[in-house]
Amino acid sequence: MRSLTNFLVTTIKDQNFSRQNDKSMSASVNMSRPEVILCAHDGIAVIDLHTIQDLCPPILCRFLGLSDDSMAACTFKEAARDEQGRLTFAKHLDISRSSFQACITFIKTGYVGSIEVLVRTMDILGGSERLDAYVAKKQAELEAREAHELEKLLSERTNPMTPEADVDHLYIWRAGQTGWSQGVNSEDWSMTVHTGIAIDYWWRMRLVLDDEDDEEIEEL
């Protein structure tokens, strides 16, 4: 009976010890993975691999030793390190600490400081589809703004609201009040905007242009 009791006690202790080890192993898995990278001019960057391992572009993953590709060990050399165990790819590629940190910040947060520095450095490190999408979006936004500004400029030139905006001299202009008789009683005159002086508004009447003048304006 005593032997059975001792056996049960020992078994329970072993189970408790096993559970503690499992918890310890689980905690170790969830711990951060600091890695030291040696950059150009012997600059030092320290990053937590755990925070970028699911976001990192594939080529940079291989530089950092994060690739899960089963063929990686056969196809690619192990990430190069110096005698202190620091990864040296950034130094060999002449990437400064600030430029490398800019890439890591973008990977983690999407923040972009200098787009030129980020694109140049990320290209050296193998590129990033996420960055390519960001650049394409910004380029599309820029083109849309430029198209809008061009449309606005053309609209202002063909439909000016003030004499100053009438750079092509399309209208005869007069300043007058809203009840200016000549303007009110004529279909040729129309009122645009306030002149900024007293209670006067700008009135305009279209000049009669010949066909050649119309073609020049359309080409603008």
Distance between alpha carbon 34 and the CA centroid of its chain, in Å?
27
- In terms of pLDDT, which residue wins out, 65 or 128? 128
Domain ranges of the chain: 32-137, 156-219
What would the two tokens of residue 121 be?
Answer: 């450095």
- The tokens of 22 are what? 């499992």
CA separation (Å) from 58 to 37, 47, 54, 62, 91? 17, 17, 10, 7, 19
> What's the predicted TM-score (pTM) here?
0.59
pLDDT category, 152, cuts 50, 70, 90?
Answer: confident
Structure tokens at 106: 């973008």
Whole-number Å distance between alpha carbons of 154 and 18: 78
**Predicted pLDDT of residue 212:** 55
Residue for token pair 């000049």: 207
- Given pLDDT bands bounded at 50, 70 and 90, which one contains residue 133? very high
* C-alpha separations of 141 from 122, 147, 160 in Å: 22, 10, 27
Domain 32-137 has CATH 3.30.710.10: yes
CA 30 to chain centroid: 30
